[in-house]
Structure formats: C-alpha cells, structure tokens
Amino acid sequence: MRHTPEEYGAYWAGAARMAIGVVLVLLVYHGVEPLTGHREWAAQGLGWVVLALAVFVGSFLVALGLARIIRAAAA
C-alpha cells in the first residue's frame, strides 16, 4: 500500500489533532482542579463549566482527528 505525501500529511495532521484534544482536556483539568475542590459553590460551578467546555472542545478535536485518520487510511 503506497500513500502520497499528502495522505501522510493528512494522517499526521489527524494524529496531531487527537493529541491536542487530549492534552487540552488534561491541562484544563489540572488547571481547574483547585476550583472544583473549593468550598464556595460559585467557584465549583465555574470550575465544572470550564471543564465541561474543555471536554466538549477536546472531544470535538479528537473526533475530527480520528475522522481524518480513517479517511487517510481508507484512501
């Protein structure tokens, strides 16, 4: 199976998107961990909202990366 340089580029771009999505979620998790463990409910709520948004964006990036990898592998 031979791939063109563009197909290899699409594969690695997909892998990079997946890695960025996972790293984003992990960094935000460690960043908001003090907020989620805080005694005040407003700080906890803010921490959970920011974490939920990061998980949403990170999952979206992982899905885009996986789709690109599958499309490159099937081509």
Q: What digits encode the pLDDT tens for the residues 6-61?
A: 778 888 889 999 999 999 999 999 999 999 888 999 999 999 999 999 999 999 99
- At residue 65, the pLDDT reads 92
**Rg over CA atoms, the chain:** 17
Q: How far apart are CA 9 and CA 68, in angstroms?
A: 10
The tokens for 55 are 């998980």
Write down the pTM of the prediction.
Answer: 0.82
Neighbours of 41 (CB within 10 A): 8
- At residue 1, the pLDDT reads 56
Q: How far apart are CA 30 and CA 75, in angstroms?
A: 38
Spatial contact of 54 and 28, defined as CB atoms under 8 Å apart: yes
